Amino acid sequence: MSLAVFPFAGLFLLSMAIGSVAGSAPPGKSVSDDGVSSEEYEIYSTLIQQKYVEPKTSLLVIEDRTFRYDFAIQDDEPWRDKPKKGVVIDPTAAEDYESKNGTKWLLNKASFKLPVKLEFITDLDLKAIFRGHWGELEWISYYRRYAGSRGFIMLSRIGFNTARTQALLYMGSRCGPGCGDLNFLLLERVNGIWTIKKELRRKEFG
């Protein structure tokens, strides 16, 4: 696993509440106008391949809807961080991140470009497998169903600045008791290519 990672502390609680998910868009706006963009899928696919695809990887499992940054400890909001040395978050990127992630958006499996098999998992699937308990027996049941995977991946919508030169992304995974990672990334576009400028939050477990 190359790349950054984040804190689960002992506090990894996946909310099983099935909130509003946008497969329908906000009132007055169409899905085609406000759905996850092809540029976002290109970024997702590149970073997932860098971080989660290893020589023995045969299956990737991704949550079928987006997350705001659900596994933060307390009220951590890294997109609101004050500028640190060498790091300046464009306020328009933070605003776009917050605006997009005020809603849970359904992802489109066909839009990911990955070198291995991809399956989606839903909140209902997770509820049926784990029933609110993230112990070893529940994970055994998970891996019976998703053999060849290393847990499942969670993604936020990507917030872009107005100039489309900076972006913010949450990406995390859960792979077993005490196993997983959290990443909150500041991305920068240079010569048309998105790269990681700064890992604003990172932690790996297990």
Does residue 61 fall inside a structural domain?
Answer: yes
Amino acid at 119: E
Does residue 10 fall inside a structural domain?
Answer: no
Structure confidence at residue 52 (pLDDT): 96
125-182: pLDDT as tens digits: 999 999 988 899 999 999 999 999 999 999 999 999 999 999 999 999 999 998 999 9
**Cα(159)–Cα(77) distance, integer angstroms:** 14
Q: Strand locations in the chain, DSSP E?
A: 21-22, 59-63, 104-105, 117-121, 152-155, 159-160, 166-176, 179-190, 193-205
Does residue 13 fall inside a structural domain?
Answer: no
Structure confidence at residue 23 (pLDDT): 55
**Cα(9)–Cα(70) distance, integer angstroms:** 13
Which residue(s) pair with 22 in the sheet? 105
Does residue 15 fall inside a structural domain?
Answer: no
Looking at the structure of the chain, the number of domains it has is 1
159 and 79 Cβ atoms separated by less than 8 Å: yes
Does residue 29 fall inside a structural domain?
Answer: no
**Residue indicated by tokens 């860098």:** 50
60 and 48 Cβ atoms separated by less than 8 Å: yes
73-113: pLDDT as tens digits: 667 888 987 767 778 999 999 999 999 999 999 999 999 99
Does residue 16 fall inside a structural domain?
Answer: no
Does residue 17 fall inside a structural domain?
Answer: no
Does residue 28 fall inside a structural domain?
Answer: no
Q: What is the DSSP letter of 68?
A: S
Give the chain's count of helices (H) and strands (E).
5, 9
Domain assignment of residue 171, given as a range = 37-71+86-205
**Cα(99)–Cα(97) distance, integer angstroms:** 6
